[in-house]
């Protein structure tokens, strides 16, 4: 097969990382009819992913939103592995959703460059690291791009496809088409910019929301209510930050600020303090709101 991989060459998808994003991206791929492997170095992480996905599928079936046969087929299409070396050789398309650390991602992409079939496209779900940072180590930079999903990935329609300077047109087209086959509405970002589209928009709203709360102009509850009832947002900015994870929000700000140096991109002190207290949002039981009750 040539490096010009088309959608017709994709039958097996590998998702690296079984965290919040990776597990739902993998289920999305399995529901799209692809043989899908989730790889994570943690067996416990894989077990937790399997439990969540089986529970999710059962509840969709119970609600009448997913046919039992489709749920069963998707769960059967999912494979789980802790061994990246053995599964990387089987994948036609790889979506890396591992920890947001450049050293970890670089190691993974270096390995993928050696192990993955020559035709395979290597995408990263990273929201902060442009794929140019890991493209060269793969030895096939034209087949590398960002394919950025949104939380919760089984629900949100958007996928940001971000090309770096040498990403080929074929890679972009195949990645966009794959997103469509997964029931998503991909958007194309023509050059790397910190935050891509969605996190830039979200960051602007969050900045204003934090300013209004910090100045005592309104409570976080009323700011969230306004976003919902005046602007039609599905959830307010504080509830959304809790959903995404305050550690993730803080990390995005740090990474963006390191790149732009702009005052408005600087990490927020209140968020950093909550993270230091272990209040990471929904996943830890508390953030701006309390979820323990």
The CB-of-240 to ligand CAA minimum distance in angstroms stands at 5
Q: Which residue has the tokens 């590398």?
A: 144
Distance of CA 84 to the CA centre of its chain: 19
Separation of alpha carbons 111 and 119, rounded Å: 15
Give the interface segment with ligand CAA, choosing from 162-170, 185-193, 194-202, 257-265 (CB under 6 A): 194-202
Active site residues: 127, 148, 160, 199
Q: Binder to ligand CAA among 2, 65, 231, 292 (CB under 6 A)?
A: 65
Burial of 10 (0-12, 13-18, 19+ CB in 10 A): buried
> Sign of the CA dihedral 91, 140, 159, 257?
positive
* 182 near ligand CAA (CB under 6 A): no
- Sole window of 1-9, 78-86, 147-155, 174-182 interacting with ligand CAA (rule: CB under 6 A): 147-155
Q: Please identify, among the stretches 101-109, 212-220, 233-241, 271-279, the one whose residues bind ligand CAA according to the rule CB under 6 A.
A: 233-241
Name residue, tokens 């991989």: 5
Q: In angstroms, what is the minimal distance from the CB of 175 to ligand CAA?
A: 17
Shortest CB 128 distance to ligand CAA, Å = 8
Give how far Cα 284 sits from Cα of 195, 236, 277, 289, 292, Å: 25, 19, 11, 11, 9
Binding ligand CAA (rule: CB under 6 A), the pick from 199, 206, 268, 284 is: 199
> Where does this chain touch ligand CAA (CB under 6 A) — which range of 77-85, 110-118, 152-160, 173-181?
152-160
Give the per-residue contact string, 16-55, with ligand CAA (x = CB under 6 A; - = no): ----------------------------------------
Contact mark string toward ligand CAA, 90..129, x via CB under 6 A: -------------------------------------x--
Q: How many CB atoms lie within 10 A of CB 115?
A: 17
Nearer of residues 34 and 150 to ligand CAA, judged by Cβ:
150
204 binds ligand CAA (CB under 6 A): no
DSSP state letter for 266: S
Distances (CA, A) of 280 to 44, 95, 121, 259, 290: 21, 25, 33, 24, 11
- Contact region with ligand CAA (CB under 6 A), list: 108-116, 146-154, 178-186, 256-264: 146-154
- Shortest distance in whole angstroms from residue 192 CB to ligand CAA: 15
The strand pairing partners of 281, in sequence order, are: 286
Contact between 256 and 265 under an 8 Å Cβ cutoff? The reply is yes
Q: Which of 118, 143, 144 is nearest to 133 (CA)?
A: 144
Q: Which residue of this chain has its Cβ atom nearest to ligand CAA in the complex?
A: 127
Query: Is the C-alpha dihedral spanning 225, 228, 234, 237 positive or negative?
Result: negative
Of the residues 64, 234, 261, 293, which one makes contact with ligand CAA according to CB under 6 A: 234
Pairwise CA distance, residues 124 & 130, whole Å: 8
Q: Which of 114, 235, 258, 262 binds ligand CAA (CB under 6 A)?
A: 235
254 makes contact with ligand CAA (CB under 6 A): no
DSSP codes of every residue in 44-83 = HHHHHHHHHHHHHHHHHHHTTSS-HHHHHHHHHHEEEES-
Q: In the complex, which residues of this chain contact ligand CAA (CB under 6 A)?
A: 56, 63, 65, 127, 150-152, 154-156, 198-199, 202, 234-235, 240, 244, 248
């Amino acid at each position: 097969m040539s490096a010009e991989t088309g959608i017709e060459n994709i039958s097996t998808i590998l998702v690296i990382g079984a965290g919040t994003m990776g597990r739902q991206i993998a289920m999305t791929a399995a529901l799209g009819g692809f043989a899908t492997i989730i790889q994570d170095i943690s067996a416990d992480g894989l077990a937790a992913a399997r439990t969540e996905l089986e529970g999710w599928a059962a509840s969709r079936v119970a609600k009448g939103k997913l046919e039992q046969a489709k749920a069963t087929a998707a769960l059967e299409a999912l494979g789980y592995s802790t061994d990246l070396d053995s599964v990387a050789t089987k994948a036609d398309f790889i979506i890396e959703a591992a920890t947001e650390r450049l050293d970890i991602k670089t190691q993974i992409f270096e390995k993928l460059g050696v192990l993955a079939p020559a035709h395979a496209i290597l995408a990263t779900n990273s929201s902060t690291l442009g794929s140019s940072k890991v493209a060269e180590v793969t030895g096939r930079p034209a087949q590398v791009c960002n394919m950025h999903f949104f939380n919760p990935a089984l629900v949100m329609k958007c996928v940001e496809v971000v090309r770096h300077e040498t990403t080929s047109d074929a890679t972009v087209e195949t990645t966009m088409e794959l997103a469509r086959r997964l029931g998503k509405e991909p958007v194309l970002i023509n050059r790397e910019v910190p935050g891509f589209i969605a996190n830039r928009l979200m960051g602007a709203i969050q900045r204003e929301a934090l300013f209004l709360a910090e100045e005592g102009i309104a409570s976080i509850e009323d700011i969230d209510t306004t976003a919902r009832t005046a602007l039609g947002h599905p959830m307010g900015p504080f509830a959304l930050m809790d959903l995404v994870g305050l550690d993730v929000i803080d990390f995005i700000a740090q990474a963006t600020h390191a790149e732009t140096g702009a005052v408005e991109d600087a990490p927020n002190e209140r968020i950093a303090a909550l993270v230091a207290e272990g209040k990471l949002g929904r996943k830890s039981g508390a953030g701006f709101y309390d979820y323990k009750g």
